[in-house]
């Protein structure tokens, strides 16, 4: 009888551990979307095709406030930041790994950001 309990303890522990591993691997996150912030994002552009949203690479979130300095909404030239409203944005890919066009396809929208920017872009002089 004593041997029976020793075997049960070993096999019981093994079964408990296996069930735990199974339960952990079964548990997946509820949402695969990555939280992002609405606001101004710096972008890198192709010099020969600056206004093509498919070639405007999103670099990083800058601020929720209007840009100032060399990159601002009153400059007429090269796009340097874009204001993205991410209320309806849904993607498993981080926004910093997307182009502006890909972000738009994932539900983002370009807005003026409460500034005088009619097209939602801040620009810098070339």
pLDDT tens-place string over residues 109-124: 999 877 768 899 999 9
State the DSSP code for 2: H
pTM over 0.75: no
Tell me the average pLDDT across 85-93: 94
Burial letters 5-14, b for 16+ CB under 10 A, else e: eeeeeeeeee
Task: Give domain limits for the chain.
Answer: 39-124
Cβ–Cβ under 8 Å, residues 95 and 84: yes
Query: Band of the pLDDT at 41, cuts 50, 70, 90?
Result: very high
Residue 33's pLDDT is: 46
Q: What is the pLDDT of residues 42-77, one digit of tens each?
A: 999 999 999 999 999 999 999 998 898 999 998 889
């Amino acid at each position: 009888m004593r041997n029976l309990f020793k075997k049960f303890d070993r096999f019981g522990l093994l079964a408990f551990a296996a069930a735990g591993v199974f339960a952990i691997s079964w548990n997946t996150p509820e949402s695969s979307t990555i939280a992002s912030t609405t606001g101004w994002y710096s972008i890198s552009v192709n010099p020969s095709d600056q206004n093509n949203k498919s070639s405007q690479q999103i670099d990083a979130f800058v601020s929720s406030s209007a840009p100032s300095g060399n990159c601002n909404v009153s400059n007429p030239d090269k796009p340097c930041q874009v204001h993205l409203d991410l209320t309806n944005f849904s993607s498993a890919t981080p926004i910093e790994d997307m182009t502006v066009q890909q972000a738009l396809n994932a539900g983002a929208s370009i807005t003026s950001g409460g500034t005088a920017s009619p097209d939602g872009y801040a620009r810098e002089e070339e």
